[in-house]
Amino acid sequence: MYDFDFDVIWRSLGYLFRDGMTFTLMLTTCAMVGGIILGTLLAMMRLSSYRFFSAPAGLYVNMTRAIPLLLVIFWCYFLLPYICGYVFHELYKISPKPIGDLLIRIFGYQVQDGTPLRIGAFTSSVITFILFQAAYYCEIMRAGIQSVSQGQMGASYALGLNYWQTMFHIILPQAFRNMLPVLLTQTIILFQDTSLVYVLSITDFLGAASKVAQRDGRLVEMYVFVALIYFVICLFLSYLVRCLQSRIAIIR
């Protein structure tokens, strides 16, 4: 019979939460905020009557949803530095002085070398998750915008508000409230999905636990603990969704 030693959890608690959980929560928050903003813009584009806007947005959303997340993670992490390096190098060739200075100022990146841009694990994962989640948030926001009656738009226009004012003050606030439960449910999924960055050997919560588990040979204990923590957090978030839902509902 296997000899369990749950003390390993206690010993590594600081590392697990200070390094691992912090990364996971930071990544989730950044990806959620960025994803919702980008997703909302995409949704507005998708609903546009101009094909110039709606077609690319539709293509992006359908393509992103057709690719496995794991693939996108690998793609961004390994290829993005080369793509950025290439693009910046091409830009640099067009006008060396201003672009070169700008890149050094923003990224500390010496473009002359032609080396890939060092993006870093965190930035790379944030970009990945924003790009990926935006497709899902887009579909949620699209439904949300469509859930607001057409008459609201007419009334807003009739008062002299323009498209952006109408969207910002009238349509989106209602769309957000109508869709909040679904947006948060999607965020819970995102929170779980962030554990996939483990494949890049990044120290997120799962990554940290896995490192300790392999070092101390305590796989069962650590993975049980990780599962438990994910379960508790998601349960808490679901509870929060239900509370919020009744509090911010529009009075009808």
Binding site for another protein (CB under 8 A): 149, 151-152, 154-162, 165, 169-170, 173-174, 177, 250-252
Q: How far is the CB of 34 from another protein (least distance, A)?
A: 25
**Min. distance of Cβ 160 from another protein in angstroms?**
3
* Least Cβ distance, residue 172 to another protein (angstroms): 10
What minimum distance in Å lies between the beta carbon of 245 and another protein? 15
Q: Which is nearer to another protein, 75 or 157 (CB)?
A: 157
What are the φ/ψ torsions at residue 110 (nearest 5 degrees)?
A: -85, 100
**C-beta of 156 vs 203, nearer to another protein:** 156
The three state secondary structure string of the chain is: CCCCCCHHHHHHHHHHHHHHHHHHHHHHHHHHHHHHHHHHHHHHHHCCCCHHHHHHHHHHHHHHHHCCHHHHHHHHHHHHHHHHHHHHHHHHHHCHHHHHHHHHHHHCCCHHHCCCCCCCHHHHHHHHHHHHHHHHHHHHHHHHHHHCCHHHHHHHHHCCCCHHHHHHHHHHHHHHHHHHHHHHHHHHHHHHHHHHHHHHCCCCHHHHHHHHHHHHCCHHHHHHHHHHHHHHHHHHHHHHHHHHHHHHCCCC
Query: What distance in Å separates the CA atoms of residue 187 and residue 106, rounded to the nearest whole number?
Result: 30
Q: Which is nearer to another protein, 107 or 157 (CB)?
A: 157
CB of 145 to another protein, least distance (A): 14
Closest CB to another protein among residues 49, 95: 49
| Minimal distance, residue 183 CB to another protein, in Å | 16
CA atoms within 13 A on the CB side of 128: 30
The smaller minimum CB distance to another protein, of residues 66 and 158, is found at 158
Identity of the residue, 108 or 151, whose beta carbon is nearer to another protein in the bound complex: 151
Specify the residue, 89 or 177, whose C-beta has the smaller distance to another protein.
177
Instruction: Tell the smallest beta-carbon distance from residue 190 to another protein (Å).
Output: 26
